[in-house]
Amino acid sequence: MTPRVEVFYSLQSDYCYFLLDRLLGLSRGGVDVAVRPVLGGVIRIPDRYRGRQALEQRYFDTDTNRTAAFLGLPYAYPDPSPIAFEPGSLWVARGEQPRNERLNRLFVGAVRAGRGLEFLDHVGRMLWDGSTPGWDRGDHLARAMAAAGLEIGAVLAGNGWESVAQALAANDHALHTAGHWGVPLMVYEREPFYGQDRFDQLLWRMKRRGAR
């Protein structure tokens, strides 16, 4: 029986990006990696980010840069951010979030087409590896989608925001039911593993239960 790992993944998360290559390796090794898209935490669970202290943000910046260097990954915060914030703050801007909505329509559409990992390998990587400032302009997204085996217009046409928002909400509910609120969350045989630094424990558990 093919082992299956569910992965709750947000395009807004640095730590999800840090996990990406290991997820691709799992898939190449014969594991069914089921990607479950969720919105960024500042939108899904804003109260958990309310009043975030400058000290916490400074440590976060230190840790993300250090983790990327440790993993040997090119890394830069997306320019522009997928989520629009109030100027000079970590508060989500009021009103529409067109970049976030478009990206998640593409993400959910890719998963529905059976190309979730390919989407993350090309579109998700483009967001976070520092290679493409202005990723939301020109043909950057279309080219990355094509590299993932998808046609951007067809994916957008078949995945309106109302349907995608329902899928994201269902995944958020499943995330909490699985045992945590944050991402990346990997779930194997109903056991949750939170954070990219729990990947080795996931492998350990899978091997102990007979997975190869």
pLDDT digits (tens, 9 = 90+) for 129-139: 999 999 999 99
Closest CA to 133 of 92, 198, 66, 78: 78
What residues contact residue 182 under an 8 Å CB cut-off, 6+ apart?
A: 41, 194, 195
**Mean pLDDT over the full length of the chain:** 94
* Local confidence band at 73 (pLDDT 50, 70, 90 cut-offs): very high
Taking a C-beta distance cutoff of 8 angstroms, is the pair 118, 110 a contact? yes
The secondary structure element, H or E, covering residue 97 is none
For position 205, what pLDDT does the model report?
97
Say yes or no to pLDDT of 155 above 90.
Answer: yes
| Residue 182 identity | G
For position 1, what pLDDT does the model report?
84
User: Minimum mean pLDDT among 92-96, 117-121, 141-145: which range?
Assistant: 92-96
Say yes or no to pLDDT of 88 above 80.
Answer: no
User: Minimum mean pLDDT among 56-60, 71-75, 108-112, 162-166: which range?
Assistant: 56-60
CATH 3.40.50.300 fits 4-208, yes or no: no
Taking a C-beta distance cutoff of 8 angstroms, is the pair 9, 184 a contact? yes
Say yes or no to pLDDT of 191 above 70.
Answer: yes
Say yes or no to pLDDT of 9 above 70.
Answer: yes
Average pLDDT over residues 6-24: 98
| Side-chain half-sphere exposure of 181, counting CA atoms within 13 A | 9
SS3 annotation, 146-160: HHCCCCHHHHHHCCC
Q: In Å, how far from its chain's centre is CA 118?
A: 13
Say yes or no to pLDDT of 149 above 70.
Answer: yes
Q: How far apart are CA 22 and CA 25, in angstroms?
A: 5
- In three-state secondary structure terms, 174 is helix
For position 212, what pLDDT does the model report?
75
For position 51, what pLDDT does the model report?
66
Determine how many CB atoms are found less than 10 A away from the CB of residue 128.
Answer: 23
